[in-house]
Structure 1
Amino acid sequence: MLRLVHKSLLLGACLFPLASAAAESGYDADKRLFRLDGGAVTYAFKIDPDGLVRSVYWGRRIGAGDPIDAAQAKAASGFDVAANVVPQEYAGWGGGLFAEPALKIAMPDGNRDLVLVYGSHRMDADGVTVEMHDIRLPITVSLRYAIDRATGIVARSSTIRNGTRGDLRIDQAMSATYVLPFAPDYQLHSLTGRWGAEWTRQQRPVSAAATVLESRRGSTGSENNPWFAIGRAGRSTEQDGPVWFGALAWSGSHRITVAQDVAGRVRITGGYNPFDFAYRLRPGETLDTPVFYAGYSGHGMGDASRLLHRFERDRILPKQGAAPPLRKILYNSWEATEFKVDEAGQISLAEKAARIGVERFVMDDGWFGARNNDRAGLGDWTVNRRKFPNGLKPLIDKVKSLGMEFGLWVEPEMVNADSDLYRAHPDWVIGMTGRPRTEGRNQMVLNLARRDVRDHLLAELDRLLSSNDIAFLKWDYNRNWSEPGMIGAAPADQQKIYVDYVRNLYWLLAELRKRHPNVEIESCSGGGGRVDLGIMALTDQVWASDNTDPVDRLLIQDGFTQAYAPGTMMAWVTDSPNWLNKRATPLAFRFLSAMQGGLGIGNNLNHWAEEDFATASRYVAVYKRIRQTVQRGELYRLVRPTPGDVQSTTLYVAADRSQAALFSLVQGTYRLDPRAPIQLAGLDPQARYRIERMDGEPLITEIPSVASGAYWMGRGIDVPLRGDFQAAGFILTRVG
């Protein structure tokens, strides 16, 4: 199958290497029309008589012999010339364009007019590359298209070349523009948030007033995740209706603009954020844009997310063998000790974690440099010998003797002013000459756009991993940029930081993975502040939120899984009352909330009673039974939570439909309101499934122990929950 990966890991663009089976692509020379088919999707575009590359069709797959074309678009009036009416796939800002451009440039002589037309193309087994050029200047753009055979997800990116004899200033460089079929009732779905409240689902009509989903923070940010879905009002639901969706594979400042154009068509343009952006392109140089992935489903928001999950598992996530590795159950020591880590205390926690079946012990912040609080030590990645007189080896050896792997927290991209690194290299931080250096969480951001900083971090992390048997890094990033300049760089190159920083981050992660292929990495940014398809191509799992309250988490996880696969999402069981909102909840409720992603435990085990260890041991054992289904199966959101009265029912079905895991949780129940039976989905209707409770308690008499998939999907399951913070989990196993 086609594998779509990032060239940006090394060079900053995208590669689509051929695989054993390719998607279908073709070119009709008479109509000058390109067609890509994959999964249940057809994507088509053409060259119009004026040489503009324009959209033709994107949606449900149509027959190979069916006619597919579009009438020539003409100027509507003197106010809207052809540049605004033609639904261009990649428009330069010029020729009278007022719609959102894909590319905007400035020449040294002040010229800013850019009209891109077709030059040539190269067909591949998996797609096509279209070469465009300006009508007068030797400025060219390569548009790369590829389609995934299984899901029909299209990958698009561009490469901009300066063939002139002078420098170009690129003011806007987008990856692609997608155009939807005309309809008057589109609804945009997006994911917004802030620290502690990430992944909030939003919905609004699409209109001529543009909606901008962006980050100006230097990283992805929680404010607007680079994902979108667009459905039809009244037609597109969780279970049915057309949905177009997409995600930008970029971990820096980004922008996705959604708006109707003057002809009533919806255009979605995404790529680098042009805010504070200026990229000098010298003669002969190129600039590669990120990949902008997009797909279509005719079966609602649920199927759209399952298609994207499958694509992420098969095409984006790092692999060890044929598939991404299953997430191990981990214990993290932060809530138990915070910065007060030492060898004896960590060994004591490791022994308790091993009792309940934990597979990976992770020591969090406080183990290095002069790190006794968040005001010092960042940047000095040497073991604190006062806390660990003999280094990390005695602790690691003990953890391994208990049958667990050892993991470590790091925050390589940051530095405290009170650190040996900053005292030696104060010019290594992001900042502007002569301006204050704003701190967040008492730290500054190292300028990873500099190659010397990149190489220093590689050397430090390589030394750490080579000197210790470390299987896992929790890679944190706890603040965003301020004063985004490059000390010592030429004025014309200052704003390259927005591209070069992320390129070097990708290079650093890729090189570490090459040198230490068995080390797994988690992307964390004060919670879900850096989750996107770019970082996910280089990390094994992500941290969705610092908010570990199990009720809030149901909302957070519901939004997260709209865009990203549950198998990438770490979810922890932590202490009660929760540290963030002081809500007290039962331990079983916390487990059933957290078991819907990659399971982690962050409690202070020193405070647990024997009853807590028994409860945890049971749910850890259950999770190991259903882990593959949760992490690699198909997710059906049967009841979606809403703020204020959170009720959530989710079903995970194994790829071969041999097992299913059902989770039903309520924040509270009221009066004697009856609950409707839960009708499952995705099972084999002809097969028979045995059902059991995850807590080991007997089924109520109304639930048969064995029934057909048709029964469970038709009649459903009665789950009588009464009271506050009630939850039930079930396992269904195919028996015939």
Structure 2
Amino acid sequence: MPIKYIPEKQIWVITTDLTDYVIGVDAEGILQHVYWGGKQPLLLDYMDLPKSIEHPGGGPIGPHRDEIMPWGGLRFTEPGIKLTFSDHIRDLHLIYDRHELLNSDQLVIYLKDTLKPLTVKLNYKVIKEYDLIERYVEIVNEGTEGLQIEQLMGAIWHLPVYPEYRLTYLAGLSRGETQVRTEWIQEGKKVLESRHGRTSHQFNPWFAIDFGQTTEEYGDVYFGAIAFSGNWKIVIEKTPYQTLQVATGFNDFDFGWTLKPGEILRSPICIGGFTAKGFGEASRQMHRYQKKYILRNGHKVRKVMYNSWYATEFDVTEEGQRRLAEQAAKLGVELFVVDDGWFGARDHDRAGLGDWFPNKRKFPKGLHPLIQHVKSLGMDFGIWVEPEMVNRDSDLYRSHPDWVYRFPGRRNTEQRNQLVLNLSRPDVEEYIFSMLDDLLSNHEIDYIKWDMNRSFSEPGWPEAPPEHHKEIWVRHVLGVYRILERLQRKHPHVAFESCSGGGARIDLGIMRYIDNVWPSDNTDPFDRLFIQEGYTYAYNTKAMLCWVTDVPDENNLRTTTLKYRFHSAMIGSLGIGLNLNKCSELELQECKKYIRQYKEIRPIIQDGDLYRILSPRSSYGAAFQYVSPDRSRSVLFVFRHRQQFRHPFPPIQLRGLDPEAVYLCRQLGIKRSGTSLMTRGISLDLRGDYASELIVFEKDINY
């Protein structure tokens, strides 16, 4: 059983294939964290709760720590719950009441306040095969008066007491998202967060902590993520007593939630895991978990996409899109997506958002002729929308100026000439659903690229009672989730992409509703190696869209070969953004060759295991290897940044192969054992700046 209860000690042991997570009730009825780490051999190893040691004048030392950390009493670390009752009492005293075991892999522990009619439900779900635990918290108001929730975390994670801790996280900016950062954790708080109303470009809701010696392949690492697409917060807090806790959940900045009698507020789901096999295995556990349990249509192949944005920008016409579609089909593209510029008065970014009907000048007979033409070429048809935004110059805004977030009397700040629609309002949510439902019901659309290009500002909701004003940060996100869920129930064949000015909405919350994510608006293939590396620390490559675009690149004015650009994009789900009208016949034939090659190796990349052999942060270059689930095939991508003094590229030691098998590599003309490839490795004659190779290894069935 994944969850074992020891009634005489009131201890729960949550067991995965390789780890144990243990909690228990102390003598005062308080739920305490006991242990998290590698599996222990016997239940008796957990029969006693760790003892708290009192420091003179300083409070408890050691692993005697609350599992949810309600604010009250002598608790001074980041709280998991903070609220105010109607009589202005502001602390909680939660004690164990009862528990339930559901479906053998789910545990619910009920805590009750000793004074107020309030229940807190701690929910745990075991993802046994991937050594992960899902956690979330529910607050239930069982009284007759409302209360105000000021902070709600989905999990408080406690790590073993250790002298030193090291943090790894993902930071960045627009067009430079998910950069890997590491630092030693000192006493105090390190806060990772979003206040943008979306996941954000600046930080991603994922973390990993080790004890300073962990590498890609070896060492203990604790890691976790938040499944929420709005304002989130991760607080890593080290005390002077060498204890460390990580609080994950809603961001309490400008947040408040009025919980009426009988109502329930649920935190985001928070995911945590432990492995003794380094950062690489931590990532692979998350990737497998996402593809099986989280990612929409995780079992389906992601098709090779063409997107028209870089070829046309806003100059979208039916005839121009037809020509691009014909060229794309010849290359072997499977999905053709019309980007921004097809609707309303959309000749630039200053007008049209909110008016989701085809521009009659650009599409005199509507979208149907283009859609039928694309489908006659053997491709699926997709289209771009940005449903949460509106331009002032639009029919929607002129009809409903009160539908945007705003503070009366204040001038609304615009970003990208647009304002944010208030999805906290039921009428706005219903409008967006109906608009998208009409679009999908009246057209044979197979794919929706859902964009969200700006952060929130002036987050006012004047029509709502004052006690609900600060709820918009959560209500907006839940509205997006509901719209997507309703659309997908009615149009299950339609795939969805999450784009947010690039990678500002990538998290495990949105991933339940989408098939692809767009990691960045930066498509420079060299920059993308860094962005894509960081992305893979937390998220799977199947959903990771990567495009091949024109040179010189608009971000850095860098020129690279078509081969290098394709290899960088083939690391994930391949997309093409080239202006095909300007490609030479030789370039088109080269594109066709790489697309054909990608389709041959796509099952390995999308469904196999990723090994980050050489980080692009190294001085030499980068190497990423994919291994099929049965270990019969492997694909290796190698990139060289630059060459100096004729120095050779370092040998590459492969990973994840069957050590007893013999592998054949036709490109290198070698036949070697898995053991040899993983220890002796291979040497590549990779020369020049921005050079790359793609190498395939296959088991030799004759051995």
* TM-score, scaled to structure 2: 0.98
1:422 to 397, 410, 422: 397
Match of 1:366 in 2: 341
Q: CA deviation at 1:560?
A: 0.5
Q: CA deviation at 1:453?
A: 0.7
Does structure 2 retain, via aligned residues, the 8 Å contact 1:87–1:179?
A: yes
1:455 to 427, 430, 437: 430
Does structure 2 retain, via aligned residues, the 8 Å contact 1:158–1:288?
A: yes
Does structure 2 retain, via aligned residues, the 8 Å contact 1:551–1:646?
A: no
Q: CA deviation at 1:262?
A: 5.0
2:113 to 134, 142, 146: 134
Match of 2:680 in 1: 715
CA separation in 2, counterparts of 1:301 and 1:126? 26
Q: CA deviation at 1:691?
A: 1.3
The amino acid of 1:87's aligned partner reads: R
Match of 1:724 in 2: 689
Match of 2:455 in 1: 480
The reply on whether 1:551 has 2:526 as its aligned counterpart is yes
The reply on whether 1:609 has 2:565 as its aligned counterpart is no
The amino acid of 1:621's aligned partner reads: R
The reply on whether 1:627 has 2:592 as its aligned counterpart is no
Q: Give me the CA root mean square deviation.
A: 1.4
Q: CA deviation at 1:72?
A: 2.9
With over 3 angstroms needed to count, the CA separation of the structure-2 counterparts of 1:646 and 1:387, relative to structure 1, is farther
Count of aligned residue pairs for this structure pair? 699
> Which segments of 5 or more consecutive residues in structure 1 lack a partner in the other structure?
1-22, 694-698
2:655 to 681, 691, 699: 681
> Which segments of 5 or more consecutive residues in structure 2 lack a partner in the other structure?
none
2:646 to 672, 688, 695: 672
Q: CA deviation at 1:66?
A: 4.7
The reply on whether 1:316 has 2:277 as its aligned counterpart is no
2:216 to 238, 248, 265: 238
Does structure 2 retain, via aligned residues, the 8 Å contact 1:653–1:659?
A: yes
Does structure 2 retain, via aligned residues, the 8 Å contact 1:160–1:287?
A: yes
Match of 2:151 in 1: 172
Match of 1:7 in 2: none
1:733 to 688, 698, 703: 698
Match of 2:562 in 1: 587
CA separation in 2, counterparts of 1:723 and 1:332? 31
Note the alpha carbon deviations across 1:472-531, whole angstroms, 9 max, x for none. 011100001001121301111101111111111111111111111010000000111000
CA separation in 1, counterparts of 2:55 and 2:109? 28
Match of 2:70 in 1: 92
CA separation in 1, counterparts of 2:186 and 2:225? 21
CA separation in 1, counterparts of 2:462 and 2:593? 55
Q: CA deviation at 1:70?
A: 2.9
The amino acid of 1:91's aligned partner reads: M
Match of 2:33 in 1: 55
Note the alpha carbon deviations across 1:157-216, whole angstroms, 9 max, x for none. 011012232221111111110101111121010000110110111111123211111001
Q: CA deviation at 1:598?
A: 0.4
Match of 1:283 in 2: 261
Does structure 1 retain, via aligned residues, the 8 Å contact 2:63–2:243?
A: no
The amino acid of 1:724's aligned partner reads: D
Does structure 2 retain, via aligned residues, the 8 Å contact 1:75–1:85?
A: no
SS of the residue corresponding to residue 558 of structure 1 reads helix
Match of 1:533 in 2: 508
The reply on whether 1:118 has 2:96 as its aligned counterpart is yes
CA separation in 1, counterparts of 2:355 and 2:620? 44
SS of the residue corresponding to residue 427 of structure 2 reads helix
The amino acid of 2:154's aligned partner reads: S
Q: CA deviation at 1:81?
A: 6.2
After superposition, residues 140-155 of structure 1 pair within 5 angstroms as 140-155=119-134
Q: CA deviation at 1:714?
A: 2.3
The amino acid of 1:163's aligned partner reads: E
CA separation in 2, counterparts of 1:692 and 1:417? 59
Q: Which moved more, 1:155-164 or 1:404-413?
A: 155-164
Q: CA deviation at 1:107?
A: 2.0
With over 3 angstroms needed to count, the CA separation of the structure-2 counterparts of 1:150 and 1:709, relative to structure 1, is same
* TM-score, scaled to structure 1: 0.93
Match of 1:19 in 2: none
With over 3 angstroms needed to count, the CA separation of the structure-2 counterparts of 1:85 and 1:661, relative to structure 1, is closer
Does structure 2 retain, via aligned residues, the 8 Å contact 1:375–1:443?
A: yes
Note the alpha carbon deviations across 1:92-142, whole angstroms, 9 max, x for none. 111122111101111232211212111111122003100011121112100
Match of 1:39 in 2: 17
Q: CA deviation at 1:261?
A: 3.2
The amino acid of 2:155's aligned partner reads: A
Match of 1:655 in 2: 629
Identity over aligned residues, as a percent? 44
Note the alpha carbon deviations across 1:395-427, whole angstroms, 9 max, x for none. 111111111111101101100001111111111
Note the alpha carbon deviations across 1:683-730, whole angstroms, 9 max, x for none. 11222222134xxxxx3xxx51x2222222222222111111111111
With over 3 angstroms needed to count, the CA separation of the structure-2 counterparts of 1:393 and 1:708, relative to structure 1, is same
Does structure 1 retain, via aligned residues, the 8 Å contact 2:63–2:160?
A: no
SS of the residue corresponding to residue 581 of structure 1 reads coil
